[in-house]
A and B are shown apart, each in its own frame.
Chain A
Amino acid sequence: MNLEVENLRVYYRTLAGDVQALDGVTFGVDDGEIMGLAGESGCGKSTLGNAIISLTGRMKYIEGSVTLGSAELPIWDFDEMNHHRFNDLSIIPQYAMSAMNPTRKIGKMVGELLDSKGVRHKEYTPELKRRFELVGLSQDVLNMYPIELSGGMKQRAVMVISTLLDPSLLIADEITSALDVSTQKAVAEMLVEFRERGFVKSMIVITHDISILYQVADTILVMYAGKLAEKAPADTIINSPRHPYTRLLISSLPEVGVTYTGKRLTGIAGTPPALLNPPEGCRFRDRCPFAYEKCLEEPPFVEIAPGHQTACWKEI
């Protein structure tokens, strides 16, 4: 087990109180596993990804542990985490493409980054160039400004830079969302390539697009309203999901070949609960067609079949 998260709870401070964005999640990611983290807006997936590596700003650590390899990560201590960031674990944040300093050439930016990590950037330049080549970027890119690159190219450059020191864990936060369809495919396939070549041991790929996860992820973890709903191999989540939310979600996704006149799809009525004062028990019960009295008690996230976990009283 490369990454183990145990009962992690992270809230957001707001004027009105604490928003319970991540409310006690427990799961693990194996060596070599690409885990997709899926869910709709407000489910807590971005919070989870960011909490593991850079808990800052309004986020408030409440409890829980995150263990990478054999060492527990001091996620509550932003400065301590600096030792681990980029070396042991790395993140490609959601707006990485637009977050690059427009007045810095790519090469200079990488140099500064490596220097700040105490790494001699001259040592890494040949490897950097080799990896750029691998993802289809010419070496000239190092001499260009971000504005000269297209979205996909920037995304690939960021991917190479984030994994330069071969971290054990890579967290990719919505890296395909702003890209064209054909570029999305290239970037997603690149993630798998990185794993194959051993640049990264395991990955957490955060996205709202489950179909991309089906293509590249080994397992998918579905979140809802700050809690885990289901985790299973990608195939199982798509073809035989057990949690009602997952089932409703999968059945609401249009795909090529499905038409309105052929099979009319339906969405999920209602909206997720506000996390400022979340409801008792299962958070999906208001919208769940199978809810019954037991659902007033929170279901535990447990294994119902080898490699398949879910939090639903009906399934346990």
Chain B
Amino acid sequence: MKKRAKPEGKAAAIGTDAALPESGISTEPGVTHIEQTPPEKKPVKALSKTANMGALREMLYFAFRNPKLLIGLGVVVFFLLVALIGPHFAIHDPIYNIDGPPHHGPMLHHHYFLGTTPEGLDVFSQFVISLRLAFVVGLIGGGVAAVIGTVVGFTAGYKGGIVDEVLNMITNIVLCIPVFCLLIVIASFARNSIKGVVPEALIIGLVTWPWAARALRSQTFSLSSREFVSLARLSGESSWKIIFKEIAPNVSSYLFMMFILLFGGAILTASTLDFIGLGPGNTITFGQMMQNAFSGSALLLGYWWWFIPPGLAITLIVGGAYFMNVGLDEVFNPRLREM
């Protein structure tokens, strides 16, 4: 066992203050009033590359280095580009042009890039139109749900009291409504008046916001009890100003991720609705393509170009969005970042 080396013969007598410069120190026990000169200022060294960056720049720094985020974003952006540019290459009308060779595989001839259906319809045209509409549903449906969820969540979380109780009740009621049943009922009755995906998207938006409101409410609740909110009130800021200037920026990452999830969810919900035949009647969507393929026994007959593209597209877009979210979580939450 190692022993500490004891210095030799250095023990000073107890209680003496050996000559110390700039005294002002008395030898009375307990009273050690010492004069000081302030130390020279040392420049503060940046501890790491990101120590001096603002929160936004630090986030962007990590964002561009996160593989999950980049891959997910890449996939979604790819499909977005196809949706924007694709229709220029789709020269055949997807619903009415039945001049194509029936149930033919993909070919470059006559721009039937993804082949034709048994009726001779151009699968590629159907695909790109559906893709556009999918984004429309996602953005509108997700957007509406995000707006409602945000307003309800912030208000309930910040105001508390009776306002919170009432909003909670409403949220719980909407949450308990079986979404599909409601959508089916509405769609059945409004079958003829659902023209295009926008009404469908709106309905989805009006029904899928509760979980977002709930989650945001609890975030807002905990932030509201932080003292910087009290300080903002002491500075004379009004409630709405506080919510948008103090609280919202702190949950901005959450709002972002929330929107992405609502976007993906809206696309899935819409596809499902369309698949069971309750989608808009005057256009073509992924769900409807799948439904047509299913009822046309595409799987059995091997018409892979008909059901794989729509299915794959939905999977990749929604999956890509969710993947992006996982990456974003790592970017926004410093503790998840690998050291």
Contacts and interface: CB of A to CB of B under 8 A. Distances in A.
Direct contact between the two chains A and B in their complex (CB within 8 A)? yes
Interface in B3-53: 4, 6-7, 10-15, 18, 20-22, 25, 29-40, 42, 45, 47-48, 50-51
A274 B47 contact: yes
A226 B35 CA distance: 25
> What is the interface residue range for chain B against chain A?
35 or more
Interface string A299-313: 010111110100000
Given A14-B339, A303-B11, A316-B10, A67 B1 contact: yes
Interface of B: 1-2, 4, 6-7, 10-15, 18, 20-22, 25, 29-40, 42, 45, 47-48, 50-51, 339
Given A247-B34, A274-B47, A277-B45, A305 B1 contact: no
Contacts of A287: 36, 39
Interface of A: 4, 6, 13-16, 26, 58, 65, 67, 72, 238-241, 244, 247-248, 250-251, 263, 266, 268-270, 274, 276-277, 286-287, 289-290, 300, 302-306, 308, 314-316
Contact of A269 (B6, B15, B22, B39): B39
Contacts of B14: 240, 305, 308
A9 to B, nearest CB: 14
A179 B27 CA distance: 36
Nearest to A7: B2
A221 to B, nearest CB: 14
Q: Specify the main secondary structure of chain A where it touches its partner.
A: loop
A4 B4 CA distance: 10
A251 B339 contact: no
A239 B22 contact: no
Contact of A286 (B11, B13, B22, B42): B42
Contacts of B31: 251
Given A6-B2, A13-B339, A305-B11, A251 B18 contact: no
17 contacts: A16-B48, A58-B339, A239-B29, A240-B29, A248-B34, A251-B32, A266-B34, A287-B39, A289-B22, A289-B35, A289-B36, A300-B7, A303-B10, A305-B14, A306-B11, A308-B14, A316-B10
Contacts of A238: 30
A250 B45 contact: no
Contacts of A15: 48, 50, 339
Contacts of B34: 244, 247-248, 251, 266, 289
B51 A290 contact: no
A315 B22 CA distance: 16
A26 to B, nearest CB: 6
Contact of A290 (B6, B12, B13, B20): B20
A314 B20 contact: yes
Contacts of A303: 6-7, 10-11
Contacts of B21: 290
Nearest to A65: B2
A20 to B, nearest CB: 13
